[in-house]
Amino acid sequence: MRLVVSLIGGVLMVALGSSSAQALATYVYRGDNFDTIEDDDPPAGSYDTSMRVTVSITLPTELAADLVLESVTDQIVAATIHDGRRSFTDVLATFSTDASGAIVEWQVGTPWIPSPQLGGGVFTRHRFDPPPGTAATSDSGSIWLDPYSADSARIVDSPGTWALIPEPATALLFGLGLLGLAAQRAGPR
């Protein structure tokens, strides 16, 4: 039985391992909780300080190393941005990465949604050299009914974190390989 598990794990690692180079890459952002809330009535509902911006972006491959504010909007396979009240799947994304491909700068958000519909948007930004008059780091969500009535929430100068989520098949292969090694090591008793 142990030999069978070892062989299955090894075969799967070889057979499927080559496809992981072309696997999808999902990046997840978790912002810090909002610390500034503006609440008008209307619109109905409220932001609160337990809410934050979260983002999930799936790309065809992992981000390359040493990107400098490169747009990946056209490469997005799937995306969601959420501000605690609303979720959107139409996302614009620009990233800078370090030598290892880790995200170090970003601008991610929804295209601006105009009033009189329930307008506004969700945005997260962390820039080393921000545009004049803007914070280097800010997460925000807003809902506008007209130019005079809006709810908004934000946090500035407190960047959240990005994580690359391991592809499930790779994790499964790694687990099967470990299981096979453990079975081989245990041997007959």
Highest mean pLDDT among 16-25, 73-82, 144-153, 177-186: 73-82
Average pLDDT for residues 11-33, to the nearest whole number?
70
What is the pLDDT at residue 138? 84
| 45/115 Cα distance (integer angstroms) | 17
Q: Tens digits of per-residue pLDDT, 25-82? A: 999 999 999 999 888 776 667 889 999 999 999 999 999 999 999 999 999 999 999 9
Would you state the structure tokens that stand for residue 146, as one six-digit string? 């007209």
Q: What is the DSSP letter of 129?
A: S
Residue 187's pLDDT band, with cuts at 50, 70 and 90, is low
DSSP structure string for 33-46: PP-EEEE-SSSSS-
| Angle value at C-alpha 93, between 34 and 59, nearest 5 degrees | 115
DSSP structure string for 134-166: S-SEEEEEEEEEETTEEEEEEEES---EEEEEP
Residue 15's pLDDT band, with cuts at 50, 70 and 90, is very low
> How many other C-beta atoms are found inside a 10 Å radius of the C-beta of residue 24?
13
DSSP 3-state assignment of 29? strand
Asked if residue 166 lies in contact with residue 20, where contact means CB atoms within 8 angstroms, the answer is: no
What percentage of the chain has pLDDT greater than the value 90? 37
Asked if residue 167 lies in contact with residue 27, where contact means CB atoms within 8 angstroms, the answer is: no
Residue 149's pLDDT band, with cuts at 50, 70 and 90, is low
55 vs 138, higher pLDDT: 55
Highest mean pLDDT among 6-15, 78-87, 133-142: 78-87
